[in-house]
Amino acid sequence: MKHFPRSLKTLAAALLLGAALTGASAMTYAQTADPTAAVSMVREWDKIFPKSDKVTHRKVSFKNRYGITLVGDLYLPKNRAGGKLPAIAVSGPFGAVKEQSSGLYAQTLAERGFVTLAFDGSYTGESGGQPRNMPSPDINTEDFSAAVDYLGLLPEVNRERIGILGICGWGGFALNAAISDTRVKAVATSTMYDITRVAAKGYNDSTDAEARYKMKQEINEARWKAAKNGYADLLPPNNLTAEQITAETPKFIADYSNFYTTKRGFHPRAVNSNPAGSWATTGMLSMINMPILQYAAELRAPALVVHGEQAHSRYFSEDAFKALGSKNKELYIVPNASHVDLYDNQAGKIPFDKFEQFFQANLK
């Protein structure tokens, strides 16, 4: 893993965390009658990928343990024999929605014989929760277990054959969920981030305790204003626009922009595509202070950890893989792939055969 110069680290941390809290945009705060209710359930196809004629798709909703209604897309193979099928819950990347990468992964795996569920995490996309765009290491881990609950209660699913798959930051939450939820029979990640690690320590663990304290000071000072507005204030947009990218822009930052702000990957409900603001100004406090994967050595479920060879984030997967206690685990590095190459299949680098083989072998 290459080491980035200090200027790049500072830029990347600022982009991820929105460290410049001054000038943060605000969203009008309007408490609904039920803040846990789904925001919407759009029925028409509005994904960034084409609809497959090999699967049946329907929009669904279910509640997590905190009472928040999650909205998902359920995909079932059309040509399925009788009997109950294995199932996979999919989510991510961090700040994305099910109409982007997770839906593509879910639909493709459904074509290969699995019942799949791509869902929006709490407080994002179509799922419920107010204020909006508020991440949580606990609640987002719970969201995966709630998806397992939903799948296991479907008549088409064998509840003894359920796996989960997390992309980017939801890769970390997927591993965390598999550690705590013994019903998860297999867990896979793609281009994984540990969001709590990068939030607290920056890229390549470049943020020391003093810098972390100053970051917490800035976020906590922002709480005074946020509290007056129902904590609905948002940080500036996560991603640069094409006009803001220069020769000095790190490639991975440009890659993010090229996905989330262009026709390739833009979706109006995605935090990472929103031109008006990103995460809530107070959102990263729990990410900084409550690290996930603390019991990685106790994971017993089979694990597949997939990452791009050229990805700036590769070290997250390598370190997580070393820490996992699973006796059946594999680290699979995709040759010449960047982080964003595994968001969609524009470059033809998502190893769907590998994911299929892993889940077929371990959901039995």
Residue pointed to by tokens 């060879």:
309
Has residue 21 got a pLDDT over 90? no
Instruction: Please write the tens of the pLDDT for every residue from 58-117.
Output: 999 999 999 999 999 999 999 887 789 999 999 999 999 999 999 999 999 999 999 999
Has residue 16 got a pLDDT over 70? no
Instruction: Please write the tens of the pLDDT for every residue from 112-165.
Output: 999 999 999 999 999 999 999 999 999 999 999 999 999 999 999 999 999 999
Instruction: Please write the tens of the pLDDT for every residue from 158-190.
Output: 999 999 999 999 999 999 999 999 999 999 999
Has residue 9 got a pLDDT over 70? no
Cut 0.85: pTM above it? yes
Please state, for a pLDDT cut of 90, what percent of the chain lies above it: 90
Between the alpha carbon of residue 122 and those of residues 113, 130, 174, 220, 349, the distances in Å are 28, 9, 14, 22, 29
Q: Are 299 and 39 in contact (CB under 8 A)?
A: no
* Least confident residue range of 33-37, 154-158, 167-171, 197-201: 33-37
Q: Residue 319 burial (CB < 10 Å; 0-12/13-18/19+)?
A: middle
Q: Are 190 and 105 in contact (CB under 8 A)?
A: yes
Residue 32 binned pLDDT confidence (cut-offs 50, 70, 90): low
